[in-house]
């Protein structure tokens, strides 16, 4: 499979770094049903890079 077609998954610590928030913040958001979309693969939590980018874009406020 060509690498450009692969979905990029991040572990929670990687996602936290990408979003510049604490790992615990992501865990809190998950438990509260807030924050970016995530996947549960068995007991493992993963974030798609595209979902993180989409969530960041949705946080934009103000401006024109």
The pLDDT score that the predictor gives to residue 2 is 58
Flag whether the pTM goes above 0.85: no
Q: How far is CA 12 from the centre of its chain?
A: 8
The pLDDT score that the predictor gives to residue 8 is 86
Beta bridge partners of 46: 39
If the chain, 64 residues long, is cut into consecutive pieces of 10 residues, what is the mean pLDDT of each piece? Answer: 73 97 97 96 95 95 75
The pLDDT score that the predictor gives to residue 64 is 61
The pLDDT score that the predictor gives to residue 4 is 65
């Amino acid at each position: 499979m060509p690498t450009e077609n692969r979905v990029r998954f991040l572990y929670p610590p990687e996602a936290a770094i990408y979003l510049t928030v604490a790992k615990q913040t992501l865990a809190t958001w998950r438990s509260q049903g807030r924050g970016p979309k995530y996947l549960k693969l068995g007991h493992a939590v993963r974030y798609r890079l595209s979902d993180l980018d989409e969530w960041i874009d949705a946080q934009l406020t103000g401006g024109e």
